[in-house]
Chain A
Amino acid sequence: MGVTKEDVEAAITSALSPSHLVVTDTSGGCGASYEIEVVSEKFEGKRLLERHRMVNTALAPHMAEIHAVSIKKALTPAQAQPQPEPAADKPQA
């Protein structure tokens, strides 16, 4: 039941053809909560809000069954190269 990590990956892959994608199930297995890191050329020239909207749109068909999605990174390939980011605080839903 629920949405699998593979479902989330497939939805994002088909919408954003990412060069880097990490989907982490943070629900403890029930499939209700995911953390996502995406690097995609399609983010080029887009503000953060627009990038997050693109990810949300890609996941929209699954959102009814997902309780929480946290987009940790939404970067362009150029941004992803030089700067290693500090680890983000993880909120619990």
Chain B
Amino acid sequence: MNYSSGQSSDPNANMDSAATRIAVDPDTHQDFEPKSKSSDMSLHDIIAQDVKENPVLIYMKGFPESPMCGFSALAVKVLQQYDVPISSRDILGDLKLKESVKAYSIWPTFPQIFIKGKFVGGSDIILNMHQASWKGELKKLLSDVPRKGDKVQPQES
């Protein structure tokens, strides 16, 4: 999966010339100009697809083997108790991905855990669901996720 920053195809870069062209050329119409939101939309779609394809997906700071934040480390540790394959994405080096994930889940912080395509929460929630007081809610949620040993799949790209 490629999370390109989309810098080169930034539609805003063309704004000035587009505006000029519309003024000069009556045959163009702004409907045919690039939408300023298109790059955000595609990243949104990438996230939607990513969470769908990976039954347990964590957006975190760092990697499962080398988390860069105690909360991310805790969330990974909890998930690893369940013997399910965990996919992870490091948001530290990708500000655009970070902001897009926050917008996608409407959640302000990381880590963010998605299970079976649904946003579950951050580290507090995952820990709470792991604890007895929530009656093994996490276990229930993960029960139909195929086990794959303890394999952790770090991000490619």
- A interface with B by C-beta (< 8 Å): 48-49, 52-53, 56, 63, 68, 70-75, 79, 83, 85-86, 88-89, 91-93
Contacts and interface: CB of A to CB of B under 8 A. Distances in A.
Given A63-B108, A89-B74, A92-B70, A49 B133 contact: no
Contacts of B70: 91-93
Interface in B120-157: 120-125, 127-129, 131-134, 137
B119 interface: yes
B133 A85 contact: yes
B108 A79 contact: no
Given A75-B133, A93-B69, 12 more contacts: A48-B125, A48-B129, A49-B121, A49-B125, A52-B122, A56-B107, A63-B108, A70-B71, A70-B123, A71-B124, A85-B133, A89-B127
Nearest to B129: A48
B71 A91 contact: yes
B108 A88 contact: no
Nearest to A51: B125
B73 interface: yes
Contacts of A68: 71, 109
B131 A49 contact: no
A86 to B, nearest CB: 6
A79 B133 contact: yes
A71 B137 CA distance: 17
Nearest to A35: B124
B134 A48 contact: yes
Contacts of A86: 131-132
Contacts of B129: 48
